[in-house]
């Protein structure tokens, strides 16, 4: 039986929830007030795709391991697929303007274009557009 999840919730530890909400609001994301309190918020990424931003103490309550320092190590890259190259550029530029750090320069592979940034807590975000009609065929 193949697994087909109905929703995805990416949980990310943050140092300052208010600053993270301000940052991601400037990038263009919205939040679900039903799942928001002083220690967590639910950021809406897409239809049935969410990021739970949890202050580190709250995040730690869900795990028995130590929280990794995202400035020194990488455990995951949150990769988002969008509708156009222009949207890739707009999202990453908004993130950079809001205080993100660049992660990589834009990468153009013809059929696929992407650009990435590090958020305020150094989590990696890759935004990409794929044009399947330009995909190299044999």
| Residue 3 in domain | no
82: containing domain: 8-134
Note whether residue 1 is domain-resident. Answer: no
Is 100 among the domain residues? yes
Of 102, 94, 118, 121, which Cα lies nearest the Cα of 28?
94
Candidates 37, 44, 4, 46; CA nearest to 18 is 37
Domain tally for the chain? 1
Question: Which residue reads 């049935």 in tokens?
Answer: 48
2 in any annotated domain: no
Look up the CATH number of the domain holding residue 126: 3.10.180.10
Task: Report the DSSP pairing between strands 124-130 and 112-118.
Answer: antiparallel
Give the pLDDT confidence score for residue 1 in this predicted structure. 85
- 105 domain residue, yes or no: yes
Q: What is the pLDDT along the chain (138 residues), one digit of tens a residue?
A: 898 899 999 999 999 999 999 999 999 999 999 999 999 999 999 999 999 999 999 999 999 999 999 999 998 999 999 999 999 999 999 999 999 999 999 999 999 999 999 999 999 999 999 998 877 776
Which residue stretches of 61-115 are H helix? 85-97
Residue 51 domain-assigned? yes
**Global pTM value:** 0.90
């Amino acid at each position: 039986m193949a697994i087909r999840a109905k929703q995805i919730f990416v949980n990310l530890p943050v140092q300052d929830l208010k600053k993270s909400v301000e940052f991601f609001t400037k990038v263009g994301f919205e939040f679900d007030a039903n799942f928001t309190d002083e220690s967590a918020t639910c950021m809406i990424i897409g239809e049935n795709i969410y990021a739970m931003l949890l202050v580190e103490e709250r995040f730690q309550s869900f795990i028995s391991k130590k929280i990794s320092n995202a400035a020194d190590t990488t455990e995951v890259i949150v990769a988002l697929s969008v509708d156009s190259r222009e949207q890739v550029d707009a999202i990453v530029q908004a993130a950079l303007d809001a205080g993100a750090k660049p992660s990589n320069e834009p990468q153009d592979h013809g059929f696929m274009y992407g650009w990435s940034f590090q958020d305020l807590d150094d989590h990696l975000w890759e935004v990409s557009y794929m044009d399947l009609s330009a995909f190299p065929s044999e």
